Amino acid sequence: FFPFVVMAHLVDRQVAGRVLLQPAPTVESRPRVSYSFHDLVKLEKSENVELHRQHSDGLKASGSHRSCSGQRSNHSRPGNGAWPRDYSPGRPSPSASFRSGRMASSAFDNWSFPDFIEAKDDASCMSDPNKESSLIFFEKTNSTFHMKVGTSHYAFCVDQYGGLEHLHFGNWVGMHDFTFLSETDPALNFEPAPAGTQYSMGELLRMVEDEDDIDPQQLWMLSTHMKSERGGDWHMARVENLTWRLRNMWSKNAQEAKKVGGAQKLLQFLDKSSVPLHNVAEEMRVEGHQPGRQGLKGTKLLEVSEFGTGDFRTPSLDVCFRKDGSRLLPLVYKHHRIINGILPSSSGLPVLGKYHSEGAKTLVVDMVDTYTEVKVQLIYTIFPSISAVSRRMVVKNSSKVGLGDVDLMKCMSATFDFSTDDWHMLSLHGGWANERHINTRRIQEGMIHLGSNRGVSSHQMNPFCVLSSGPPAEDHGHCYGFCLLYSGNWLMEVEHSQTGCVRVNVGLSNTHFSWHLGSQESFETPECVCVFSDSGLGKMTQTFQRLIGERLIAPRWQNLICPVLINTWEAMYFEVYHDKIIQFAKPAIEAGVELLVLDDGWFGKRDDDTTSLGDWVPDPRKLPRGLKGLAEDLNAMGLKLGLWVEPEMVNQDSQLYKQHPEWVLHHPARMRSEGRNQLVLDLTREEVQDYIIDAVSQVLNSANIEYIKWDMNRALTDAFSAALPPRQQGEVYHRYVLGLYRTFEVITSSFPHVLFESCASGGGRFDAALLAWCPQAWCSDNSDAFSRTRIQMGTSMWAPVRCMGAHIAACPSHQTHRTHMLKTRFIVALWGTFGLELDLNKLSKQELREMKDLVSLRQKLSKVVLHGEYFRLPGFGYPGASHSNSAGIGDSHVYAWMFVTPEQDRAVVSAIVFHRDTVGKFPSRLKLRGLRPEYHYVLTEHVPTMVEEGVFNGVFQPGGPQFKHRRRLTLTGAVLMEVGIPVHFNFDGDAMLLELQVGSSSTPQESNRVHSLFNGKRHAFASC
């Protein structure tokens, strides 16, 4: 009846409804294989039978367990040998010993394969979890995955029903059995249990003890495959699983009456559940498809959650089988594998490590619905010394039960569950010209939805949020930052459940989304990055900025010092004639500008925003010698040429629209909506992508163009594609983004020397995904210094400073009509890529000299600012201000930030005041961060504040440049960080800029000697 001889040489292991057969210690080289249960009936009573093997993609193991050197290694738990003490070669393996229907468990329980296996080129090589190079481990004893995420620890396990239960994400605490975290969780009354009543092994034996036709040992052997992975304890056997195991033991070629009768008799005893039992004869005609687990999930912390199977929280995944309309997809663990490096995207989505994957490790966990065999891959990638884990999901319709096509209704990139705490959330909100303001709230019962359904990541919300234990703070507390690498419709769900636990779902928006999966077709989600910090928002920010700078941005741009540019838009708008551009460029050269960007108006008949989008040919009226002639003239003057384009859009008044009206997103039977007089091209069409690629390529080939500003000035509406069948209209938004990514990939690969900056009506598509092709992005159309301070404070939560497009704009501001002195505008623009957005011809000679000095100062400080470690500075402000206000949290009128080189020998410090709340009250001292306590830093204040001479409040005040400190200071890092420095602002809108440099010696005496040699000459800068 059962292959006893073969089983005597195999150690059994049950995982999620499949028997994983591992070679016994006497077998040297037999690979680990996986058999479905119906395959077991085909086994012969011989060791030499040929079996249909399903090779596991997980860890390879062999009886020899040779080390990397080729020598046999003794991997065991403390106190145990490599093999059981009572085992010797040639004896039957432990699984062959039976005593009264029970296994002689002592030998089996003491023997195990190595607990921790890390993927190397030789998968059988063992690794020490304490080594720095060891990142991912699988603890076999408790079926637990451990990931060493920088100084952090991410752990989850395969539970007794085959699900993935989350255990820990926090500081690294060493390799421990974390399964105790779930074993003490009580089940809530009236919550669903697994499908079918549960019975222990003893209960099942008592049920059949008076039945002559049922062999208790036979029943016992089936139940051994349900042995718990946790410490050898028996868990409750699911009748549903026992049922289908019994059914599958008989193939259509083995239907002897005695066996069928015995099976029917046994099934009668097992038929005490809600699981409907079918006729055994009918079952014998089906190559057993295994039903999936259900229930007992509503209170667990999970790695993935499916709709309709007992977890009533917001799910990770929701599918619909078209044939019968069913929405159930209970997933169980199948196997896993660990990969050196990353797993590239199969659909062109940006992923961390694409350009630089050295040291990365990727864990791929395969889940399966055992009934339909639809597969789900959970992909985890981590990088050495970075406390972050990236996650994404792949779903494959591999159904073999005739259910046909599948519609994905919801497919999140990642689900993160957290146990009860005083959870708070930080998110970034706003609107056009007012993007990414910091918002905080306490999480209470219910659901918070963040997201965009505009077809872009949006001005209104940014695909980023933070979960913090307690109110979010800059310099202390545990927090988790979530960032989605995606540029279209997105969703973040934060749910506070009945138990107090919190779930965070991150991924694609499921509004107007569905994805049709035909047989064997797959769908891949965007990548979500989660960063853990045990020291507040500051450390989280530094991790994000390092991760994006090192692992997302193309290597050719990673050490870029952004060129100082001047843009024609606010100075000239559509009046971009060749001669006017040359006149515009002359003072820019004198001021030290390196790049001139020709903005909107240079193509077609573009005299306003009603015409010519799509016709990317220079207007001969404005550029009689074309772009080539303009580039030649500018290059001869010492300037590079950059260009503005908006390739995703088209005007009705254009040659492109006349030729291809079907190329726009619209429903042919309905009226279309326009934005800024333009329509959106249908990038789901490959021919439209190719047109954009060809048009932009022709422009770049026509002249020496070294910079592209890629704009996108409206959201997507009428999202219907005539190129897609009805069943795929829910795919339009996502296919649009995939088309955009393909377009960027082809163009940037063809022109690697061209620097791309993304823009979408300002900061409407400022997301991490586009940084893979455009290493900088325009923060906002609002360049007002006050507005930009708040915008850039929020943007800096995750984005590197070198990616934040920031310019000195005209005064008064074109957006707010506020007036700020040049010093303040410079300090805010320095906090980004730095450029000019004004007509230098309108400045006086004195003001032009001051601008030249400021550009020169920017070049001096740029390496520190763009590639130093960034700190927001909390605890600075006037009486009544909260500690975090100056770091951007809460309603603040005082802000401060700084940059420190990796060597900690230089720093740049900035501070700004919007409004002084009261006259005569002093702000607190400004305490710096990130310095070496023992170093002696020489403080140099740049750009003094100009004060008019006169009598104020009855006291004569001399005019001229005013510095915050009247003498040169040399202070230790300890003093600067623990004591701080006083900063007194002269009036509303005042600002301060300090440079710190380590003296030539660490001793105060030598620092003072160097001090005395300093030239005390300082420049005065006028207001605008």
Determine the Cα–Cα distance for residues 273 and 243; give it in Å rounded to an integer: 11
Residue written as tokens 């060791």? 47
Determine the Cα–Cα distance for residues 578 and 633; give it in Å rounded to an integer: 10
Q: What is the DSSP string of 953-1007?
A: TTEEE--EEE-S-SS-EEEEHHHHHHT-B----SSTT-EEEEEEEE-SSSSHHHH
Element (H, E) at 530: strand 527-533
Determine the Cα–Cα distance for residues 65 and 81; give it in Å rounded to an integer: 13
DSSP 406: E
Q: What are phi and psi of 450, to 5 degrees?
A: -115, 145
What SS3 state is found at 168? Answer: strand
Crossing angle of helices 686-702 and 732-750, rounded to 10°: 30
Residue 711's CB is within 10 A of a number of other CB atoms, namely 22
What SS3 state is found at 366? Answer: strand
β-strand pairing of 102-103 with 98-99: antiparallel
Determine the Cα–Cα distance for residues 458 and 890; give it in Å rounded to an integer: 22
Burial 856-891 (b: 16+ CB within 10 A, else e): ebbeebbebbbbbbbbbbbbbbbeebbbbbbbbbee
Catalytic residue among 711, 767, 784, 990: 711
Residue written as tokens 């700020």? 820
Tokens of 1001: 């010696």
**24, 109, 34, 115: which is closest to 73 by C-alpha?**
115
Question: What spatial distance separates the first Cα and last Cα of the chain, rounded to whole Å?
Answer: 95
Tokens of 217: 């040992």
**718, 695, 607: which is closest to 646 by C-alpha?**
695
Determine the Cα–Cα distance for residues 795 and 804; give it in Å rounded to an integer: 8
Determine the Cα–Cα distance for residues 609 and 651; give it in Å rounded to an integer: 9
**454, 344, 436, 350: which is closest to 791 by C-alpha?**
436
Judge contact between 711 and 678, C-beta under 8 A: no
Indicate if 718 belongs to the active site.
no
Helices (H), 477-619: 536-551, 569-572, 578-591
Indicate if 784 belongs to the active site.
no
Determine the Cα–Cα distance for residues 619 and 893; give it in Å rounded to an integer: 47
Q: What are phi and psi of 162, to 5 degrees?
A: 90, 0
Q: What is the DSSP string of 744-762?
A: HHHHHHH-TTSEEEE-BTT
Determine the Cα–Cα distance for residues 919 and 913; give it in Å rounded to an integer: 13
Determine the Cα–Cα distance for residues 384 and 475; give it in Å rounded to an integer: 23
Determine the Cα–Cα distance for residues 344 and 348; give it in Å rounded to an integer: 9
Determine the Cα–Cα distance for residues 930 and 538; give it in Å rounded to an integer: 11
Q: What residues pair up with 896 in beta bridges, in sequence order?
A: 911
How many helices and strands (H and E) does the chain possess? 21, 50
What SS3 state is found at 772? Answer: helix
Catalytic residue among 407, 682, 781, 784: 781
Determine the Cα–Cα distance for residues 281 and 284; give it in Å rounded to an integer: 5
Q: What residues pair up with 145 in beta bridges, in sequence order?
A: 138, 156
Question: What is the set of active-site residues?
Answer: 711, 781
